[in-house]
Amino acid sequence: MSSSQQQLLSLLKRLGPSAIAPLAKAVSMTTMGVRQHLDKLERQALISHFDKQQGKGRPTRHWHLTQKGHQSFGDRHNDMAIQLITGLVALQGEAAMDELLRHRNDQQLQLYRQKLSKDEALPQRLEQLARLRTEEGYMARIEPDGEQWLLIEDHCPICSAAKSCQGLCRMELELFQALLAPARVIRTQHILDHQPRCCYRISSGS
């Protein structure tokens, strides 16, 4: 990333949604030059835009940081999660952590059941699940494999926490098994096993 692009990100972080003209003035560049940098930042999903009507005439385009753009300034959520996990185990023991994970798993199962259509066939339900997981940052997709399907997650947004508490991964597998029953779900690849992604093989139940 160029210094000009870093400067534009910092401006958007400080100013919030902004039109090109004030951004160009702040970095002493032409609006055309700024637009080129903004286009590059948008292709990296660091910023996005919307059009805002201000009086008569054409709407003015405003640029703003995406969640990824905000996170590029640093995010301590992983550190805090790890500290909370290790602190809970130290104070209350492994049983307390298992109880907390079970509670989280039950809540997530209830949420997924509300959002997945009970009337759809298994392939359609898997596509719905992949969309939900992608919204949560897992970069999920479904691939058919003969008479079975693969749920592939190319990213794990909770990887750091999962390394400190592998019960998270165990509960995740149990979540899919409960959600998709009577289909059978097994994990065939695991990021924590130094593989490039997490992958789950799903087959129809008997």
pLDDT (tens digit, 9 = 90+) per residue, 121-138? 999 999 999 999 998 888
On whether both 14 and 37 belong to a single domain, the answer is: yes
Token pair 């597998």 is found at 173
Round to whole Å and give the CA distance between 63 and 49.
4
For position 40, which CATH number holds?
A: 1.10.10.10
Round to whole Å and give the CA distance between 150 and 189.
11
Q: Rounded to two decimals, what is the model's pTM?
A: 0.60
Which of 71, 105, 123 finishes a domain? Answer: 71
Q: Using CB atoms within 10 A of its CB, is residue 134 exposed (0-12), middle (13-18) or buried (19+)?
A: middle
Number of domains composing the chain? 2
pLDDT (tens digit, 9 = 90+) per residue, 143-168? 999 999 999 998 888 777 777 777 88
Within 8 A by CB and 6+ apart from 32, the residues are none
Q: What is the pLDDT of residue 118?
A: 78
Task: Please give the single-letter amino acid code of residue 201.
Answer: R
pLDDT (tens digit, 9 = 90+) per residue, 40-91? 999 999 999 999 887 788 899 999 998 888 877 755 556 666 677 777 777 7
Q: Which domain holds residue 38?
A: 3-71
